[in-house]
Amino acid sequence: MRYRNIAITAAVTGLVGLGFAAPSHAGLTTFCDGVASDVTVPGDLVVRAGDSCELTNVTINGNATVRADANLLLDGSTVNGNLRVNDNGFVDAIDTEVTGNARLVTAYGAYTEGSTIGGNVNATDSGFFYSVGSDHAKNVSSTNGETFLESSSVSRNFTTEGDALTDVYDTVIESDVSVSGATQGSVFCLSEVDGNASFSGNGDLLQIGASAPLTGCGFNVFGGDLSVTDNTGEAHVSDNVVRGDLTCSGNNPLPVVENNRVRGNVDCESAEAAAGIQQRRAISQADDRKAEVKADIEARAKAGSEDAEDAGNAFE
């Protein structure tokens, strides 16, 4: 069994051991460098710059902060507060609950799998936010990063602006979607949006539903309007169910729009499907970038885990 070295500072006399109750006004901060399991952190947890912290079945009764170049690996754990990830910091959360907000600011990135975030997720100027099989009780937003949602849920709005790439697969979004200015485009497949959806100003490749050009995609259901405007990459909008209006305008080149079931009005300029060099390049770029991000996550998590183990055992 692995543990971590944890130092505790408190605004009270003496040291407070992990796993013991502490007054809520005590202002406890636990600094984590190493591995630990099956304990309770009575207040806030901080991973200091350059450190690595790996927690298994741990409850943090406060906020968790990952400082510059630090790593926080959570497995089967709970953060009863907010999660903040700073410059080049990294979080890997498996089967973990964060009851508050998650905020990434110039972070390396965050990966969640089988996890729950009770507040908003906001990533600003960060590498990526990658969610697999996770539930998000409020809004998810990203600015100037990369966003990947797979088999997840978002109870409110999903918004990305200036992402390199926004990919959504097999995900339910209970309110509105806005994807704008993604330089490598967006792939939106096998998902449900209960509100309105807008895709605007995206480059390289935009695929909403459709079985091609990227394979493994499929139709989406949009409960409101679907708007596809001012995109500059290859765009395919096919085989979707749209319960509101479908609007396409200002796209160059014209999108391929076909086989959609639209209950409202349709106002779309459409082109015939064509396979060209630019399209193949865009497909390769989107696939390669997603694979690269997955490799980056695995490498950073592995390095963080090794660093945490090297920091030593906490309670021998």
SS3 113: strand
**pLDDT reported for residue 272:** 62
**Which H, E and C letters describe 185-220, residue by residue?**
EEEEECCEECCCEEEECCCCEEEEECCCCCCCCCCC
Q: Alpha-carbon distance 204 to 77, whole Å?
A: 39
159-173, 241-255, 257-271: which has the minimum mean pLDDT?
257-271
Average pLDDT over residues 64-86: 98
Q: C-alpha distances in angstroms, 44 versus 57, 62, 94, 112, 194?
A: 16, 4, 20, 21, 37
313 DSSP 8-state letter: B
What's the mean per-residue pLDDT of the chain?
A: 88
Domains of the chain, by residue range, sit at 1-105
Kindly tell me if the per-residue pLDDT of 21 is higher than 50.
no
pLDDT at 8 (0 to 100)? 31
Q: How far apart are CA 124 and CA 305, in angstroms?
A: 25
CB atoms closer than 10 angstroms to residue 308 = 27
Averaged over 46-59, what is the pLDDT?
Answer: 96
Pairwise CA distance, residues 72 & 63, whole Å: 13
Instruction: For 27-134, list the strands marked E by DSSP.
Output: 29-37, 40-41, 44-47, 52-56, 59-60, 64-66, 71-75, 78-79, 83-85, 90-94, 97-98, 102-105, 109-113, 116-117, 121-124, 129-132
pLDDT tens-place string over residues 163-178: 999 999 999 999 999 9
pLDDT tens digit string along 174-223?
Answer: 999 999 999 999 999 999 999 999 999 999 999 999 988 888 899 999 99
- pTM, entire model: 0.88
Whether the CA torsion 145, 173, 264, 235 is positive or negative: it is: positive
Q: Which has the higher per-residue pLDDT, 284 or 294?
A: 294
**Mean pLDDT value of segment 26-47:** 89
Residues 96-152: pLDDT tens digits? 999 999 999 999 999 999 999 999 999 999 999 999 999 999 999 999 999 999 999
